[in-house]
Structure 1
Amino acid sequence: MRTRSILITGASRGLGAALAHAYAAAGVDLILTARSEEALASVCSDCRSSGAKVSCIPLDLTSEASIDEALAEIKLIGLPDLLIANAGVYSGRQANGMLEPRAEQNQQLSVNLLGTIQFLDQCAQGMKDRGSGHLVLISSLAAIQPQPDSPAYSASKAGLAFWGRSMAEDLADHGVQISIVYPGHIESQQTEMQVGALPGLMPAPRAAEIIRQGIDKKRARIIFPRHLYWLILVSNLLPGWLRRRVNRPFRYHVARDDRPE
């Protein structure tokens, strides 16, 4: 049986680490990237213990030089069969009621959208030239129901989803599939900073398993939790004033003073 090659960005913690652990097994080549090299090294070590062959590549999606260096290393290793674009950052309203500071807005757009697209462009072209491949983009339910307390995050995830949808038809003609994942809240350092409601909060390993099942079934869209998705669809049918009243208990802010290290 041919070895399966899987690349996961943002694999040092949270959902990315859970996905790496879910796929780590004998006969699998993992290419794991992240900005935090120390945390990434720990995940890589765990995955090797599970029998996978693992390559660790530093990647800072805010740096064109880092993106180019990572792509060059991936080219030497070999383009993966499956690429999961998971890397992302999150911010939201401040405790004083102000929205995300400009620096945090820029970082979210750089990492979640612009840097990710720059990285994916060349990988998608390589898969297209090869005639096979599967790109999986981790978006968010915030791309379906924009969050009033995290507009830049919502915009970045919606942009990534629409980029994937735009690319899907062209790539399909060349044997390359795109799946877009729209998850709800997943336990992470990011959710630890969120002060307020976290409906449908899910452990990262459970979310990784749902995503893996959707990938195995080659679904174009992987959306969960389903009950929250249906509530979003119903809420969008309500008049604006009523929707705002219904959503009021779910408002939140991000605690920056106790940000996890």
Structure 2
Amino acid sequence: MPSIAHPRQRILITGATGAIGGALALHYASSGCHLVLHGRNVAALERIEAACLAKGATVTCASVDLGDAGALGDWLDTLCHTATPDIAILCAGKNTHPPGPGELERWDEVQALLDINLKTPINMVQHLVPAMKAKGRGQLVLISSLAAWHGLPSTPSYSASKAGIKAYGEGLRGLLSPVGIGVTVVMPGYVTSPMCNAMPGPKPFEWPPEKAARVIARGIEANRARVSFPFPLDFGTWWLAVLPAALSQWLIKRLGFDHLEAP
């Protein structure tokens, strides 16, 4: 499918070494598109960079510690001083799971998850929005999850972080619309990746990352408020947020989404 990136468009993608981030980088890579790719895995980032260069894009790579607020702010301020991104897709994220039934997730893992899934994108917005306002346009893309509709026993902290970023993005869209900045919240279901493979429980309607990237890119292009997929799982998990909590939790257990390995 041809890239939808406009000539000279500048696109920032964090988590570019992950499944969705990498697929989006390759989707947008084209002549006239400058990609700013961030990833923690330097070797994997170099492979994505080479593939994007081969498709004609120009590429800048970074591996700054997203959890270091000072370093992150310095990087973004320098980046925006050079050329503010037209689109910022904040894909970096992580997951953690309870070790077994009745066992809480480790607190250090929960803190690290909340830092990267929730605090980091909010911190990035603090730096990107003033530059986008000065430019008169921009698009922020925040990655939530279908787990944001109702918390899953297999990933309670992850569900909480994704519900938080969903609510933040929804509020941000109304706040920034008058100044020409769009906000799209992406709520994927299961997308093939090491993170997905590590998740306990069933993974219905799993999508390849390339398919997810195409759907996300179309939503960004249309400045959609929400991009959620796949439809059957989205529709089902939406009902979990609507139904009485006791019924939703019964359904989650009945369908096996409370599955955890015994310690």
Q: Same fold (TM over 0.5)?
A: yes
By how many angstroms is 1:237 displaced? 4.6
Give 1:198 deviation, angstroms.
1.1
* Residue 191 (structure 1) shift: 1.4
SS at match of 1:84: strand
Q: Which residue number corresponds to residue 63 of structure 2?
A: 58
Counterpart amino acid of residue 118 in structure 1: N
- Which stretch of the first structure deviates more once superposed, 32-41 or 91-100? 91-100
Distance of 1:233 and 1:2 partners within structure 2: 37
Distance 1:246 1:170, change over 3 A: closer
For 1:199, what is the secondary structure of its paired residue?
coil
| Structure 2 CA distance for aligned equivalents of residues 23 and 254 of structure 1 | 39
Pairing partner for 2:134 from 105, 119, 129: 129
Distance between the aligned counterparts of 2:246 and 2:179, measured in 1? 46
Deviation string 1:213-241 (CA, Å, 9 cap, x unpaired) is 11122211111111112112334454444
Partner of 1:159: 164
Matches within 5 A, 1:134-145: 134-145=139-150
Q: How does 1:36-115 map to 2 (within 5 A)?
A: 36-95=41-100, 97-115=102-120
TM-score, normalised via structure 2 length: 0.90
Q: Show the counterpart of 1:188.
A: 193
Q: CA deviation at 1:15?
A: 0.8
* Structure-1 residue corresponding to 2:39: 34
**Structure 2: tracts of 5 or more residues without a match:** 1-5
Contact 1:136 1:178 in 2 (8 A): yes
Aligned to 2:257: 250
State the TM-score, normalizing by the size of structure 1.
Answer: 0.91
Cα distance in 1, alignment partners of residues 56 and 39 from structure 2: 21
| AA in 2 matched with 1:135 | L
Amino acid at match of 2:207: M
Q: Deviations over 1:104-160 (max 9, x none)?
A: 110111001112211121101210122101111111111112212212111111111
Give the counterpart letter for 1:177 in structure 2: G
Q: Does 1:231 align with 2:233?
A: no
Which of the numbers 1, 8, 18 marks the counterpart of 2:23?
Answer: 18
> In the aligned structure 1, how far is the partner of 2:262 from the partner of 2:123?
31
Cα distance change of structure 1 residues 255 and 107 upon mapping to structure 2, 3 Å threshold: farther
Query: 5+ unaligned residues in a row in structure 1: which ranges?
Result: 257-261
Equivalent pair of 1:59/1:70 in contact (CA under 8 Å): yes
Q: Does structure 2 conserve the Cα–Cα contact (< 8 Å) formed by 1:25 and 1:50?
A: yes
Pairing 1:3–2:17 present: no
Q: Indicate the RMSD between aligned Cα atoms, in angstroms.
A: 2.0
For the structure 1 residues 47 and 190, does the alpha-carbon distance in structure 2 shift closer, same or farther, using more than 3 Å as the test? same
Distance 1:144 1:79 in 2: 33
2-side partners of 1:222 and 1:116: how far apart? 18
Between the two proteins, the alignment pairs up a number of residues equal to: 256
Aligned pair in 2 of structure 1 residues 58, 235: CA closer, same or farther (>3 Å)? closer
Contact 1:26 1:53 in 2 (8 A): yes
Structure 1 residues 78-87 or 187-196, which shifts more? 187-196
Q: Secondary structure of the residue that 2:74 maps to in structure 1?
A: helix
Change (3 A) 1:2 1:241: closer
3-state SS in 2 of match to 1:196: coil
Which residue in the other structure is 1:204 paired with?
A: 209
Is 1:171 the counterpart of 2:163 in the alignment?
Answer: no
What is aligned with 1:259? none
1:137–1:180 Cα contact (<8 Å) kept: yes
State the shift of 1:103 in Å. Answer: 0.9
Q: Is residue 121–residue 142 contact of structure 2 (8 Å, CA) maintained in 1? A: no
C-alpha displacement of 1:99: 2.6
